[in-house]
Amino acid sequence: MSLIQRDLNCLWHPCAQMKDYEVFKPLIIKRARGSIIELSDGRKIIDAIASWWCKSLGHNHPQLKKALLQQLDKFEHVLLANTTYETIVQLSEKLTALMPSLKKVFYASDGSSAVEIAMKMSLHTRQIKGETNRKKFIALSNSYHGETIGALSVSDMGLYRDPYKELLFDVAFLAPLPYVLTRNDPLWGNCQQHWDILKKQLDLLAHETTAILVEPIVQGAGGMRLYSQDLLKRLRDWTKQHGIHLIADEIMTGIGRTGKMLACEYANIEPDFLCLAKGLTSGWLPLSAVLTSDEIYYLFYDEYDTGKAFLHSHTHCGNALAVSIALATLQVMEQEHICRYVSELEPLMFRYMSEIAEHTGKLENVRSMGAIVAADFIVRDPQQRVGFEVYKSAVKLGALLRPLGNTIYWFPPLNIEFSTLQELKEITQKSIEMVKF
């Protein structure tokens, strides 16, 4: 039996209508190097979305491999309760150096868990402080924070949440957001008009709210949409005034993706909780982190019998193999000046996508931030799955693009070579031209 048939007999793939696999068979992966995935039939395809936004340093980076091998000689994983080791201390020091006020790190494996840990910590502080009326969360409209029940509750995506709405708790979603296409939009610097509307919504909720969640600057699954940094500044000011926490979900934007280590830096703000995952290990292994302040940490710090401890546990909290890769990732980010390179990629990626839009006449709303560029297909027949058609065409031509509905985007490894980007441009353009719409 063929490997594909064996796969379809037993494997339920993520985020898929499995019937689609009848017409779009799974690609058989043989090797991956840098920005290139090699298939068993010898074809090479560009990993244009960094394997779901995580492989920030590409595949098989030698320094990451070396770090993993070194850790393998020591130990792979020991529970982190009452233990420590050099590598995790070094990683934690580097993470807490990202922002002056974020002094403590709590580890988990996936992004959803990180979001839920931050939310649990926020709510728990209200118990400890006797502010038991503060139990609501606010999120942005069009947000995505993950797919476990807590993370899904604060995600404003009907497609992902509707079948499970019976289990979700009630959350307020803020709209309209001051979306921009680039940082040249005047809204980027000042979103006063939007704020006037949003502030009214916020003020009504202030007394009962424990935290606001944001994907800073770029909303990922919501269609790679960028919004004004000024909104973040205003939200930070408003939350501080009202004693409300700000949770920054930088799972997708963090560790260099936007050209800065953290997207929050564009607004020059520091959240109360910061969530990292994906790029944290350059997509090698599952690892997530929640950073928070000493102020929060010491609320939980007391005699055991006061019952204030944060008792969340997670088997692979601080997994040593994942931690070794994360530390090496942060080292490579510095040594290879990745953020500087991303700032060179940004105008190139924007220009390439704009040229495709102009040449094909099939794209609108070209937008970019760091090593992310996106645009929307101009679709006439809403029944047509243009994104899916382009996806299939692109794979044939040599690129693993995977549009979000009718939004096409590039989210490549941060160290993708210019020549590969040039190739990606040509493949993308041809893929769009191959599809009639």
Interactions with its own copies, residue window 47-106 (CB under 8 A): 47, 49, 51-55, 59-60, 65, 68-69, 72, 74-86, 88-89, 92-93, 95-96, 103-106
Tell me how far, at minimum, the Cβ of 18 lies from its own copies, in Å.
5
Site for its own copies in 318-347 (CB under 8 A): 318-322
Tell me how far, at minimum, the Cβ of 431 lies from its own copies, in Å.
15
Tell me how far, at minimum, the Cβ of 371 lies from its own copies, in Å.
17
Nearer to its own copies, 110 or 346 (CB): 110
Tell me how far, at minimum, the Cβ of 377 lies from its own copies, in Å.
17
Q: Is 275 in the site for its own copies (CB under 8 A)?
A: no
Binding its own copies by CB under 8 A: which of 130, 303, 335, 436?
303
Site for its own copies in 31-50 (CB under 8 A): 31-32, 37, 47, 49
* Sequential DSSP letters for 249-270: E-TTTTTTTTSSSSGGGGGT--
Question: What does the block give as tokens for 311?
Answer: 């008792």
Binding its own copies by CB under 8 A: which of 34, 178, 271, 283?
283
Binding its own copies by CB under 8 A: which of 284, 352, 377, 410?
284
The interface mask with its own copies, positions 226-245, x = CB under 8 A, is --------------------
**Spatial distance between the Cα atoms of 212 and 432, rounded to a whole number of angstroms:** 39
Tell me how far, at minimum, the Cβ of 258 lies from its own copies, in Å.
18
284: phi then psi, degrees, rounded to nearest 5:
-80, -45
CB 17 within 8 A of CB 398: no
Q: What's the Cα-to-Cα distance from 5 to each of 11, 21, 26, rounded to whole Å? A: 10, 11, 10
Tell me how far, at minimum, the Cβ of 335 lies from its own copies, in Å.
20
Nearer to its own copies, 38 or 417 (CB): 38
Q: Is 271 in the site for its own copies (CB under 8 A)?
A: no
Q: What's the Cα-to-Cα distance from 210 to each of 28, 116, 302, rounded to whole Å? A: 46, 14, 22
Site for its own copies in 135-164 (CB under 8 A): 135, 147-151, 153, 159-160, 163-164
Q: Which DSSP symbol is given to 280?
A: G
Tell me how far, at minimum, the Cβ of 188 lies from its own copies, in Å.
29
Tell me how far, at minimum, the Cβ of 179 lies from its own copies, in Å.
24
Give the bridge partners for 211, in sequence order: 137, 245
Match 């704009």 to its residue by tokens.
Answer: 354
**Spatial distance between the Cα atoms of 316 and 278, rounded to a whole number of angstroms:** 16
Nearer to its own copies, 9 or 419 (CB): 9
Nearer to its own copies, 163 or 186 (CB): 163
Give the DSSP H/E element, type plus range, for residue 292.
Answer: strand 288-293
Tell me how far, at minimum, the Cβ of 110 lies from its own copies, in Å.
5
Binding its own copies by CB under 8 A: which of 182, 199, 205, 310?
310
The interface mask with its own copies, positions 109-128, x = CB under 8 A, is xxxxx--x--xx--xx--x-
Total chain residues near its own copies (CB under 8 A): 123
Tell me how far, at minimum, the Cβ of 312 lies from its own copies, in Å.
5
Task: Give residues with Cβ within 8 angstroms of 281, minimum separation 6.
Answer: 54, 287, 322, 325, 326, 329
Q: Is 314 in the site for its own copies (CB under 8 A)?
A: yes
Q: How far apart are the first and last CA of the chain?
A: 37
Q: Is the dihedral of CA 389, 390, 395, 400 positive or negative?
A: negative
* Sequential DSSP letters for 398-412: TB----BTTEEEE--
**Spatial distance between the Cα atoms of 230 and 228, rounded to a whole number of angstroms:** 5
Site for its own copies in 391-420 (CB under 8 A): 395, 402
The interface mask with its own copies, positions 178-217, x = CB under 8 A, is ----------------------------------------
**Spatial distance between the Cα atoms of 125 and 117, rounded to a whole number of angstroms:** 12
Q: What is the CA radius of gyration of the chain?
A: 22
Which segment (10-18, 194-202, 256-264, 342-350) binds its own copies by CB under 8 A?
10-18
Of 371, 372, 127, 352, which is closest to residue 363 (Cα–Cα)?
352
CB 388 within 8 A of CB 403: yes
Q: Name the burial class of residue 35, with classes exposed (0-12), middle (13-18) and buried (19+) by CB atoms within 10 angstroms of its CB.
A: buried
